[in-house]
Amino acid sequence: MKLTLGFCFLICLCRPLPLFPQYAPIVLDDSYEHDKWGTEPRDLMFFFAAYTVSFDGRDDNNGDGNSDLWGIPEWVSYEIKALGEDHSLGNRPRWMTDPELYAAGIAPGDESYGVSGTSRLGEVKTDYRFVRGHLCPKDTAERISRDAAYNTHTLLNAVPQLQWQNNGIWKNLEALCNGWANSWGRIWVICGPVFFNKTPSLWLGQDDEMRVAVPDALFKIVIREDPADALKTLAFLIPNILPKENRNPADFLTSLARIEDLTGLVFLTALGSQGAALKQLKGRIEDWQPLR
């Protein structure tokens, strides 16, 4: 028996895991409070310089009594500060994953996003493919450091997203957020996937790969402190499949309460019961224009 176990152990050691690119050094900056307003529940937590992530673990997301693994973050939160010195952007690195979670079958590797070999088909490129959509964008993280930006290229910070949305309405919303941070000094963002019936209907990944759930929609909540009110918030709910022409995030405003209903997440826990009324409001983009 000992011999058999030893042999199995050797086999395991000999089976090579894919070589993933390594993270750049993670240097946390205490002046950033990425989840300042409190987001619950917290699953597998990771703390990067530019963002905080709660990645889906073996809990039961859809409440059917069975453990499930969706291969994506449940939420990512990050603080954005006003742009300091303008700077050039670093190159895009290869996508990384967490080697321990990958070995445990909890986080995907890059192959899951290969979409059944469609990268080799000329017909399936540009708009009509699922790409790795950053939740904390790389160019926002560049405001902190080149290393912080590099470390956004991990599948802990990504969900499958149609290319035209990633490069269209979602990119527009990211640019708005960067602009609002410039106007107001600091803002906070919480974003993540939404599944309308609590169970994914579409997955990436082939039989020998970890399956990755394709969200039905993404949410993004934006928060800032206000001189008059305590807080101003905006909540966006953007379907993953949209007409390409629809690029205006303002068309997709909703309330934080609606996002809570859809995701089971709870926002603004730091405010306690004081946050309840705020969560019912549908914010207005006009309230985010800079003061004159």
Do β-strands 186-194 and 73-81 pair in parallel, antiparallel, or remain unpaired?
antiparallel
Instruction: Report the nearest approach of Ca ion to the CB of residue 54 (Å).
Output: 11
DSSP-derived 3-state class of residue 249 = helix
Instruction: Report the nearest approach of Ca ion to the CB of residue 59 (Å).
Output: 4
Residue 73 or 275 having the CB closest to Ca ion: 73
The Cα 33–Cα 47 span in angstroms is 11
Residue 46 or 236 having the CB closest to Ca ion: 46
Instruction: Report the nearest approach of Ca ion to the CB of residue 202 (Å).
Output: 17
The one-letter amino acid at 247: R
Report which residue's Cβ sits closest to Ca ion. Answer: 68
Instruction: Report the nearest approach of Ca ion to the CB of residue 236 (Å).
Output: 24
Residue 76 or 173 having the CB closest to Ca ion: 76
Whether the bond into 41 is cis, omega within 30 of 0: yes
Residue 141 or 155 having the CB closest to Ca ion: 155
- Write out the residues near Ca ion by the rule CB under 5 A: 56, 59-62, 64, 66, 68
Residue 27 or 104 having the CB closest to Ca ion: 104
Beta strands in 5-87 (DSSP E): 39-40, 44-47, 52-55, 73-81
Instruction: Report the nearest approach of Ca ion to the CB of residue 235 (Å).
Output: 24
The Cα 34–Cα 186 span in angstroms is 11
Buried/exposed code over 10-25 (b: 16+ C-beta within 10 A; e: otherwise): eeeeeeeeeebeeebe
